[in-house]
């Protein structure tokens, strides 16, 4: 059964809408843990649109499960990761104008920089996952660069409008996932996953971590954070149901 990393960025988005102190993502992390989250994920963006430096510091001290820091390969953010030492870093591409992460990190184009960042994170004892598209060449290079894991971008699957295109995207994820595992990489998936579409992805063989944010926070607004996390945990614990 895959582990659930709960991304709490959008709790901070609500706080930053008023530049105030509530709701505190640190509280959300505690509630998520109480409800069974296996990890807490935050993205410290260069523009600080939601998560702030203080959040990462306090979460580092308070989160008992794995803290996964999503981040770009910019030097300023790398320095923060090296100083804070989260359990895991997931390297992602970042553009100022995007609403959310668009596409995976191109580890082929950025090979030299990514290798340097991975080596420095490893020297600080931090495990590294690379958020990439479901592409064999990107997986090959991820392995070569020494990452422990790849997180395959599930956005195209989540955005697919028809059953046929959804099945095609799921097959791509399944194929690329098998290739990553054959290459000795841990297999993570994330982006755009929601209650309505998570089960087929959770059922992909050997997927060991799902990172899910927006849909959990959206449901939490209506039903509370613990219930929202518990309901997602229940869904992903029924691995195999999709193929029954
Ligand atoms: N994984 C990665 C690498 C991401 O960048 C994001 C978005 O921050 C997520 C997972 C979570 O995506 P969503 O909020 O759509 O669940």
Binding-site residues, ligand 1, Cβ < 6 A: 7, 9, 43, 70, 90, 92, 100-101, 131, 151, 190-193, 211-215
| Selected catalytic residue, list 50, 94, 191, 209 | 191
Is 70 a known active-site residue? yes
Is 169 a known active-site residue? no
The tens place of each residue's pLDDT in the chain, 244 residues long, gives: 999 999 999 999 999 999 999 999 999 999 999 999 999 999 999 999 999 999 999 999 999 999 999 999 999 999 999 999 999 999 999 976 777 777 899 999 999 999 999 999 999 999 999 999 999 999 999 999 999 999 999 999 999 999 999 999 999 999 999 999 999 999 999 999 999 999 999 999 999 999 999 999 999 999 999 999 999 999 999 774 444 3
Q: What pLDDT was estimated at residue 45?
A: 96
**Burial letters 4-30, b for 16+ CB under 10 A, else e:** bbbbbbbbbbbbeeeeeeebbbbebbb
Task: For 73, list phi and psi in degrees, rounded to 5.
Answer: -95, 20
- What are 91's strand-pairing partners? 71, 130
Cα dihedral: 176, 37, 203, 144 (round 10): 20
| Selected catalytic residue, list 43, 50, 153, 188 | 43
Tell which residue, 68, 56, 50, 47, has the closest CA to residue 10.
Answer: 50
Q: What pLDDT was estimated at residue 238?
A: 77
Nearest CA to ligand 1 atom 1: 190
Q: What pLDDT was estimated at residue 237?
A: 92
Task: For 50, list phi and psi in degrees, rounded to 5.
Answer: -130, -75
Distance 212 CA to ligand 1 centre (A): 6
Q: What pLDDT was estimated at residue 82?
A: 98
| Selected catalytic residue, list 70, 94, 151, 169 | 70
Is 191 a known active-site residue? yes
121-140 pLDDT, tens digit per residue, is 999 999 999 999 999 999 99
């Amino acid at each position: 059964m895959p582990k659930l990393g709960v991304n709490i960025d959008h709790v901070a988005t609500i706080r930053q809408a008023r530049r105030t102190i509530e709701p505190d993502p640190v509280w959300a992390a505690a509630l998520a843990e109480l409800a069974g989250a296996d990890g807490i994920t935050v993205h410290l963006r260069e523009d600080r649109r939601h998560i702030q430096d203080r959040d990462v510091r306090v979460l580092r001290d308070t989160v008992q499960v794995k803290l996964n820091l999503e981040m770009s390969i910019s030097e300023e953010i790398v320095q923060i990761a090296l100083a804070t030492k989260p359990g895991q870093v997931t390297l992602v591409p970042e553009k100022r104008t995007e609403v959310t992460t668009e596409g995976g990190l191109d580890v082929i184009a950025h090979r030299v920089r990514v290798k340097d960042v991975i080596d420095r994170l490893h020297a600080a004892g931090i495990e590294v996952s690379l958020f990439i598209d479901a592409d064999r060449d990107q997986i090959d290079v991820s392995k070569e660069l020494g990452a422990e894991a790849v997180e395959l971008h599930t956005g195209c699957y989540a955005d697919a409008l028809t059953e046929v295109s959804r099945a095609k995207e799921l097959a791509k994820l399944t194929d690329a996932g098998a290739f990553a595992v054959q290459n000795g990489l841990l297999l993570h998936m994330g982006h755009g996953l929601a209650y309505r579409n998570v089960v087929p992805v959770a059922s992909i063989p050997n997927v060991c971590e799902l990172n899910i944010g927006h849909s959990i926070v959206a449901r939490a607004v209506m039903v509370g954070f613990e219930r929202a996390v518990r309901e997602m945990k229940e869904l992903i614990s029924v691995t195999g149901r999709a193929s029954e």
